[in-house]
Amino acid sequence: MKRILMLSTGGTIASKESGQGLSPAITSEEILDHVPAVGGLCRVETLQLMNLDSTNVSPAHWLEMAGAIRERYEEYDGFVITHGTDTMAYTAAALSYLIQDSPKPIVITGSQKSIALDDTDARRNLYDSFLYASDRESHDVSLVFDGKVILGTRARKERSKSFNAFSCVDYPEAAVIRDKKLIRYLAPRTYTYGAEPTFYDALEDKVLLLTLIPGMGAEALDLLKDSYQAVILQSFGVGGLPGGGDGPLAQAIEGWLEDGKTIVMMTQVPYEGSDMSVYQVGQQVKERFRLMEAYNMTLEAAVAKLMWVLGQTRAPEQVRELFYRPVQHDIIL
């Protein structure tokens, strides 16, 4: 029977009413007590890392999670992290970059209702997560929720209240769990005996996301340039910049690049990605400036990957090479 470590970080699954709204207060041991059937799947030990609303989870906490797994990696056969849903997709993406090529599964899960409630989805999600983590063909970082197994770089929260909160964006789900049976859609990755993951311990959190709206000027980009190392610009459709290659926004981009900053263009559209070469307003910008394009990456993956890349290097060509190097199918070129 496999030995799995459950790391608790808080979130709705661990919440109780505080008098001012829900707040994480249930411990890792108490969470596990609500799902005794897990004992028939594996041997579980728990670790209370933190007890936060996931709105308060930051890159520093991602590093803490990765570090806790690194310290205990040889002791366990897999890991399950309980987490709030609001930033769970960001954490899943971040851990996919901080812990790469892991022959042992690292599963992230949570719930839309507290595990202390009768009508909660928490018990099913937790059981499914341990079922997946206990399977000998499970590897790498995944998000397990509402019977879906989603690669850590491909998850997005799309519903704020429903139990089917997460979708797999522009890539197939790795597996589903139905009636406590694991059904794989994708062939599992094969690891040789003795394979070891690569751990990273640096992130650059000075990354800005700026979503463009019609009529928006360049003032925000100009004012924020000195406070950030990189900016992700979310534009419209397949990608373009108001004013094309000669407008105020283009001039602001030029100032960022001259200061050695990194710029990534991506679309606001949830599915099918960007292609700035399609329209003049995008093609002009792409031809004029040495910026990067996120293509079919999720927003969460683009943010986390850029933080990871800039944590390793600031050299423009190395930044570009690392950003476009696929990690767990995060980008399909």
DSSP single-letter state for residue 171: S
Per-chain mean pLDDT for the chain: 95
pLDDT at 181 over 80: yes
Kindly tell me if the per-residue pLDDT of 21 is higher than 90: no
Position 333 pLDDT exceeds 90: no
Flag whether pLDDT at 245 surpasses 90: no
pTM: 0.96
Q: pLDDT at residue 246 above 90? A: no
Q: Assess whether the region 3-199 and the region 207-323 belong to the same CATH fold.
A: yes
247-271 per-residue burial string, b: 16 or more CB within 10 A, e: under 16: bbbbebbeebeeeebbbbbbbeeee
Whether the predicted pLDDT of 111 surpasses 80: yes
98-111: b (≥16 Cβ within 10 Å) or e: bbbebbbbbbbbbb
- Predicted confidence at residue 177, as pLDDT, reads 98
* Position 19 pLDDT exceeds 80: no
State both tokens at 2: 């496999």
Residue 36 pLDDT grade (very low, low, confident, very high; cuts 50, 70, 90): very high
Confidence category of residue 109, pLDDT binned at 50, 70, 90: very high
Going from the C-alpha of 95 to that of each of 36, 143, 165, 297, the distances in angstroms are: 28, 11, 20, 16
312 exposed, middle or buried (CB, 10 Å; 0-12, 13-18, 19+)? middle
- Residues linked to residue 48 through DSSP beta bridges, in sequence order: 8
DSSP string, 174-232: SEEEETTEEEESSPPPP--TT---EE-------EEEEE--TT--SHHHHHHGGG-SEEE
Q: Which CATH class is domain 207-323?
A: alpha beta
DSSP assignment, residue 144? E
Per-residue pLDDT band for 302 (boundaries 50, 70, 90) equals very high
Average pLDDT over residues 297-302: 98
Which residue in the block uniquely carries the two structure tokens 């709206």? 213
Among 243-252, 265-274, 315-324, the range scoring the smallest mean pLDDT is 243-252
Is it the case that residue 274 has pLDDT exceeding 90? Answer: yes
**Catalytic site residues?**
12
* Residue 260 C-beta-side C-alpha neighbours within 13 Å: 4
The confidence band for 24, taking pLDDT boundaries of 50, 70 and 90, is: confident
Say if residue 20's pLDDT is above 90: no
Residue ranges of domains in the chain? 3-199, 207-323
pLDDT (tens digit, 9 = 90+) per residue, 123-167?
A: 999 999 999 999 999 999 999 999 999 999 999 999 999 999 999
> What pLDDT does residue 22 have?
80
Q: Which two tokens stand for residue 260?
A: 């050695």
47-101 pLDDT tens trace? 999 999 999 999 999 999 999 999 999 999 999 999 999 999 999 999 999 999 9
CATH superfamily of 3-199: L-asparaginase, N-terminal domain (3.40.50.1170)
pLDDT at 52: 95
Q: Give 238's contacts (C-beta < 8 A, 6+ positions apart).
A: 267, 273, 274, 275, 276, 278, 279, 282
278 pLDDT band (50/70/90 cuts)?
A: very high
